[in-house]
Amino acid sequence: MKFDLLTTDINSKARAGEITTDHGKIETPIFMPVGTIATVKGVHQRELKEEINPDIILGNTYHLYLRPQTDILRKAGGIHKFMNWDRNILTDSGGYQVYSLSANRKIKEEGVKFKSHIDGSYHFFTPENVMEIQRTIGADIIMAFDECTPYPCDYRYAKRSMHMTHRWLDRCIKHFEKTPPLYGYEQTLFPIVQGSTYKDLRKQSAEYIANAGAAGNAIGGLSVGEPAEEMYAMTEVVTEILPEEKPRYLMGVGTPINILENIALGVDMFDCVMPTRNGRNGMLFTAYGTINIKNKKWEDDFSPLDEMGITWVDTEYSKAYVRHLFTVNEMLGRQIATIHNLGFYLWLVREARKHILAGDFRAWKDKMVKQMDKRL
């Protein structure tokens, strides 16, 4: 993997860059649509490519390990072939899902024993077998196995957890280097900064992660319920320490405003379930604020879904029609909302990139943040 830093904004820490992997180029800053179980829910791969056009999407180790299971993915020739996606894929290590989904998880130095949220069967994740699972899945960028701390989290627990994440990272790197890629293209391992909402721990973790010398670095354990201001403070502490010449990935963030503020703090990569999950619940993100399409006020509004017309659905259907689809619980409504939201998120980061390259990002960002902070 190669990262070219093209420019840094003069009035903020925002950066425009380009990542190159064996599956092509990723122009940063980038938003990665979440395709947890080898699908961006409700969106055809063709539609994803032609309408939303992301350079990279996300898959999840925990979910793919449980279903369809690694044996099927290996027989298919890896996740790209399995889902017929020839661009980049990043897989999260499953640390967060073990934290959020599984009942009765037991965390020990060796790894985590957890109960499947599907059938209650027991499984064991270690840094070593998570590397092997991710080798078999075959994503271009894979994540180190970490422990994601809850919020709020007391200092002693956060500190213990962070040190364990660091020890697990050493095991991940060691094992990753021993296991060759299976499908003839390179995979790149990103470590993850932890430390909850404690500045001194975040600093310590960022230094440890920077010293690991990986090709890119991630910031984890945020967007788990802490106030936005705390999230920004932690990001700032960490981006000051992480090497400039390597991409920085803020995991699980966030709202369109969160994304712009974190781009201004020097983050290059984002993923979040909001555009897809909130879309399926009738929430539409636009450049002028959010719309709850289920509200009665849209019942007889025959104007286009979004006049900006970023994706084809925006001008093809009216607000009244999409509201009707949600009212009658028709799956097409959820598909339209998903395509609209993902199209908007990708437009937003690409617009941000244009303004970083043009040198007026800060003024544009401040205007957009104000503009989007409304319920329509």
Task: Give the C-alpha separation, 356 to 141, whole Å.
Answer: 25
Q: Which residues contact 186 (CB under 8 A, 6 or more apart)?
A: 1, 21, 22, 140
Q: Which two tokens stand for residue 259?
A: 């994304």
Q: Which residues contact 274 (CB under 8 A, 6 or more apart)?
A: 254, 255, 285, 341
Angle formed at CA 59 by CA 341 and CA 369, multiple of 5 degrees: 35
Bond before 180 cis per omega within 30 degrees: no
Q: Which of 92, 140, 268, 306 is catalytic?
A: 92
Amino acid at 296: K
Task: Give the C-alpha separation, 298 to 291, whole Å.
Answer: 9
Task: Confirm if 88 and 140 have CB atoms less than 8 A apart.
Answer: yes
Please confirm, yes or no, whether 71 is among the known catalytic residues: no
Nearest one of 301, 299, 303, 325 to 314, comparing CA atoms: 303
Please confirm, yes or no, whether 92 is among the known catalytic residues: yes
DSSP calls for 21-51? ETTEEEEESEEE-B-TTSS-TT--HHHIIII
Q: Which two tokens stand for residue 358?
A: 């043009």
Q: Which of 140, 146, 271, 314 is catalytic?
A: 271
Is 168 in a helix, a strand, or coil?
helix
Using the CB atoms, write b or e for 169-182: b if 16+ within 10 Å.
bebbbebbeeeeeb
Catalytic residue IDs: 92, 271
